[in-house]
A and B are shown apart, each in its own frame.
Chain A
Amino acid sequence: MKGKRFTGTVEGWVTVIRRKLSAGELGSLPVVLVLAAIWIVFQSLNPNFLSPRNLSNLSVDIVGTGLIAVGIVFVLLLGELDLSVGSISGLAAAVFAVLNVNSGVPEWLALVVAVLAGTVAGTVQGYSFARTRVPAFVVTLAGLLTWNGLMLSILGTSGTVNLDENGLVAELTSYYFTSDAVAYAVAAVGAGLVFLVAYQDRRRRQAVGMPHRSLGSIATRTGVVAVIAFAAAYVLNRFQGLPLALLIFLMMVAGLDLLLRRTHYGRQVYALGGGVEAARRASLSVTRVQTAVLAISGTMAAIGGLFLASRITSVSQSSGSGVLLLNAIAAAVIGGTSLFGGRGTTWSAVLGMLVIQSIASGMAITDTPAAVQFMITGGVLFAAVVIDSLSRRSQEAHGRA
């Protein structure tokens, strides 16, 4: 009897998975496979790749760009692109460095002002984009130049500013919770929350007699999350413990995921990505949502910029330039957020950054030249975009069938 029920559930899953695949809802499956492949390849090339030390460093290295990529996810959901995030991240770092180091403003105040500078820059761009209806990538291209110029003028002649090695911002990426208990507690809380939310949903649906998840599927979900979380905690504890940066990153991603998927505001963002005209007819305030999205993107860029500055404890004229912008956009897209708008979650920024940083780290560890690294990352990005486009097309074809 039990065996029969089990086969029944398995058959149910197979049908659901097959339906999702044929409907083009691949979700994060491809990127997880790519990540696994990358890890296997580099581990076989160099056994140090999956060492606790390397993985721990990897988990801190993804944070700065990852936070910027989370902001990019919001913009991509609208079907737009924000090219100014690199410059804004540099601007925020410069504001912080000049205020704190050169002018002696308290660290916390300088930090707040720096983040707000990003918010303001994003809001200005968002409002002009929403009002003029010039595509966001053009508005933010202008922003890219403007904010970069502003950063250079703020830094002035000094060029490079070194941050306090033991200051608040430096601690952002250098602090580790050395006690083993912290990492395990965070893992337990994470898995517990996943279980509670799913269980509560099941109970409410059951109460009103609607279809609900089986206890088994809830247990499987929670189990998968718990295994990943506890494995990560175990590995991190074998080096220096849970990095503060990683904790902040994951909390922000989870919080913004909640905002996007469980609030009125988030629903509006998705709706705008699905069709501006439809959203307008449903009397959503398009201008306000578009402005807010770019404001969030600017804010996240500023926060990411501070983490990047913290990693090298200095701010220079080259902060926020180079491949940072491209990596942030690539991370969001590789992670599974659609370039066409309306599909994706903040978690894709985490997955995408893991892929990009794993490639970078593996290349460094195996002494491969940077040129090859760029080409491989480019290849992965191309594959991600193709998958995105194909799955979108198959979804539409599925609708007509």
Chain B
Amino acid sequence: MNLNFLIKLSENDKRIIIAFFLAIIIVFVLFGLFGSLIIRTMKWQGKKCDELINEVVINKIITTPSQLRKYARKKNRRCFLKQAWIPVALIVLGVLSIIIHNAATNNWSYNPFNKDDGFGTLLFVWDFGNADSYTKVFGLTLLKEWPPLVNTPHFEVKALVSYFAIPALFIGGIWYIVAAQSYLARTIRAYKLARTIFDKNLDNYNQNTPIQQEVPTTTTIQ
């Protein structure tokens, strides 16, 4: 045990250690909040499964857990296909446009993100590859100053294909991920319902408690 090391820590070092642990706590708290958000979203998406199998379960057409899982799987699959066909179409269109562009220009090494004839022409681009911007600190290579600006947003006719393909791929990709998450949520919900709906649980049952008779309600028509 290096007690000498602990005694030799200065106030500044202690502050750095405290700040470091605080940063870790904040990072984990942010992960916790983000994870809670995802779980709440998935619970809300899973309610769609209840809507899909509601009438069939209430009318007792399905009477066993295996029947429910099978029926729910088919309905969830169809719901996923209906939700995800638009993003898949966008992704397919984006990929097709790049393939057609490469075939037309006979350049199969085309990078749609480059700053000369790609989507990079619309963005601010800094030269992070410049070695003059870096320095070594305790054996670590760190930035000493912000890299120089290489490109400012401007319009290029040659990059027109990337102006369509990149947004289509980006939007389609995000949309498809959300649809896949919804499909996962509904599948989890279906398996949970198959377990709870047909559960013959006697935890809260007591044979000695009297059965409460339902009071008949009278309705008066005015």
User: Is chain B found bound to chain A in the same assembly?
Assistant: no
Interface residues of B (CB under 8 A from A): none
Interface residues of A (CB under 8 A from B): none
